Amino acid sequence: MDDLVESILDYVRSDYTDYAIMINGEWGSGKTHFWNHKVRNKIESLQLNGKRYTTIYMSLYGISNLEEISKKIFIETTQLMDKNLKKFMNSKGQTTIPEYAKTGLDMANFFGVTDNGNRLDYGEFFSTDDKVLCFDDLERANVDVIDILGYINNFVEHDHIKTIIICNEKELSTKLKSSNLEMKTFIATYLLDKQGDLDKNDKPMVEKIRDKIEYVFDKANDYERIKEKLIGETFEYAPQFDYIINGILMRYENDPELIRFLRENTKLIINTFHKSGTRNLRILKHALNDFKKIYEMVNKSYPNTNYRVMQTMLIFTIAISFEIKAGKITKDKFVNIEDNEEYKAVLVSSRVLMDNRQFYIKEFDNNYYYNFKAEYRFFKFIEYYVRTRIFNMKIFKNDMEAIINTVDIEKLPGYKRLLTEEYWKIPDDQFDGVIREILDNIKAGDIELINIVKLYAYFSYFSRKGLIEYDIKTIKNEFFNGMNIASLKSKYCENVEEELNKIAIDEVGEDMEEILTYFNSLNLQLLDKKYKELADDVFKCIPMRMEQFYEMFDKECMDIPIFKYVDPYQMFQRISCAANEDIMIIKEKLQNRANKYTKEIEPEMKNIKQLKQIIDDYIKGKGITIKMVTLKEFSKDLGYILDKYKLTLFSKKEEVVEEE
């Protein structure tokens, strides 16, 4: 880094230059910090031929026209000529006027500078004697880069002012190619059409449009040409991150407990930063600021939190910040991971899930936690805070309570240890105890049904490997009995395949099929139980809470055979007591539902047929009233639905005959 500073000083010392120099580096890597703390003071301490140089720094961030650059130069130079302002700024230790103080001001009038009553031409007013210009954030200006470089070239070529440009050329290149892309594509397509090349099959359309855009709008070449003329040397900024990170930590010196913790874990911070694969110190600063709040909240509410957990929180905060804010992933990669248990379950799964989430999480864990052992490695409240900027107290408390029960392995149920971590991590002297505890839980039916299935895969594997003394027949009987009891307490499992993919055993025994078959039968019973409870909740809203009925029916019952789980006589009593308008709405919903979800609701047709018969029997011989006509129309639509299934069944039989 000292060599780079010296090279920049050599440029400033040169008697005559007609070129600028460029400092190129990634966003957030500390280029501006390097200028402010390493270069500027060195330049201003130079004395050449009895004169001392003055630096003038300008950020081009957000500049929308060239006049704004002139104003910035005017402001920076005028503050140096105004003795009172300079004296005030020196007393405050400031070297530049704050940006907010410049915004929206007509600075010429502010300083009382006029030119025969007219607005001042800032470009002509600017004095070039003994100055070094520094233009930062070139790629973030809202003006065409070519125009800005042409503007700067006036100072360099004609006035021979020492000029330093700080930018990220990688982003600049992207900006040059992507600006006004829709307009460029439209014009390129128009030209190809006019030239008769649009319909030719000599190359892919995308490639033809891209080539035409590059030919007509080759800003990159324009940039290279003017850069060759303007920039004499380009220096790659490769910062000494360890030194800079130590400097960043100094901002927390006023918080004794936090700074002590951060100083003790400086190596962890640096290692995690390097593992991010970026050079973005700005993201690291934000991450450490986030950790400051996390550290304060944990110490306030849970002051005796394990030190290793705090270290892991530090790693996770930095890691998740880089993963999300550096654009390495979309924000939703961790959205569906609810807690540390689910995170670890994904890690130990031996098979790939339907999406690429498992692969990414394994890569994340292997990268950031390599050679760092911790039982608790995922913090939902931190992920949520970094992703949404909201510190959710409910999630925070849930996480911290789980941590209290997880860090002490003795308090963690044995079956969770087996399902959420590699089994070989369980010490030999604890393994038998864990196995006995799990069997006791299974016998009592205290474990969710799907988890019993997963545990059986482990026990079968352990039996084959001789790790447990129980024979497979005994184990199977214990599991069957446990599944029967657990089914009374368990809930229906919707994502069976995904759950089974979390089994961290490659060698699944053939006996697993028998367990799965039995599980599927019990799971179907749980589904029936779930639908029965849903049917009770939905249909009890008729006739008194019809709005609630419509909402629940539309949202939860359209594609499931909900009438299969309700007594037709009770259903008739509720429908007959409803208002005529509601009866008509219900029949229309049933008809539309049958057209849209014909196959899904077929199992309920037996009850629909019975309901129609009950309505027909009721209205038979009754006098004509609006209610009777309404019920008759309702019955008619039920008949339409039933006929639809007769036609469907007839079509299926015809297909079978044709195949034969």
Domain 2-176, second-level architecture: 3-Layer(aba) Sandwich (3.40)
pLDDT of residue 565: 95
Q: What does each C-alpha distance from 241 to 22, 42, 57, 247 come to in angstroms? A: 21, 21, 24, 10
Q: Pick from 284, 301, 163, 142: which is nearest to 230 by CA?
A: 163
User: What pLDDT sits at residue 71?
Assistant: 74
- 597-643: per-residue pLDDT in tens? 999 999 999 999 999 999 999 999 888 999 999 999 999 999 999 99
Distance CA 309, CA 313 (A): 6
More confident residue, 244 or 582: 582
pLDDT, position 490: 92
**Which is more confident, 14 or 204?**
14
Q: Give the side-chain half-sphere CA count within 13 A for 85.
A: 13
The half-sphere exposure of 522 on its side-chain side, counting CA atoms within 13 A, is 25
Q: What mean pLDDT comes out for the span 192-198?
A: 73
Q: What secondary structure letter does DSSP report for 2?
A: H
What pLDDT score does 115 carry?
Answer: 45
Q: What confidence tens digit (pLDDT) does each residue in 583-605 have? A: 999 999 999 999 999 999 999 99
Domain residue spans of the chain: 2-176, 241-412, 423-528, 540-659
- E-only strand ranges, 481-544: none
Distance, C-alpha 81 to centroid of its chain = 50
Long-range contacts of 360-368 (CB under 8 A, 24+ apart): 360/329, 360/333, 361/333, 361/334, 361/337, 364/319, 364/323, 367/275, 367/319, 368/272, 368/275, 368/315, 368/316, 368/319
Q: What is the largest CA-CA distance in the chain?
A: 120
| pLDDT tens per residue across span 145-156 | 888 888 888 888
Q: Centre a 10 Å sphere on the Cβ of residue 412 and count the other Cβ atoms it contains.
A: 18
* Highest mean pLDDT pick, 50-59, 354-363, 464-473: 464-473
Q: Provide the whole-model pTM.
A: 0.50
The percent of residues in the chain predicted with pLDDT above 70, rounded, is 80
pLDDT digits (tens, 9 = 90+) for 257-281: 999 999 989 989 999 998 988 778 8
Give Cβ neighbours of residue 250 (< 8 Å, ≥ 6 apart).
none
Question: For residues 439 and 478, is the Cβ–Cβ distance under 8 A?
Answer: yes
State pLDDT tens for residues 370-415. 888 888 899 999 999 999 999 999 999 999 988 887 665 556 788 8
pLDDT score recorded for residue 84: 57
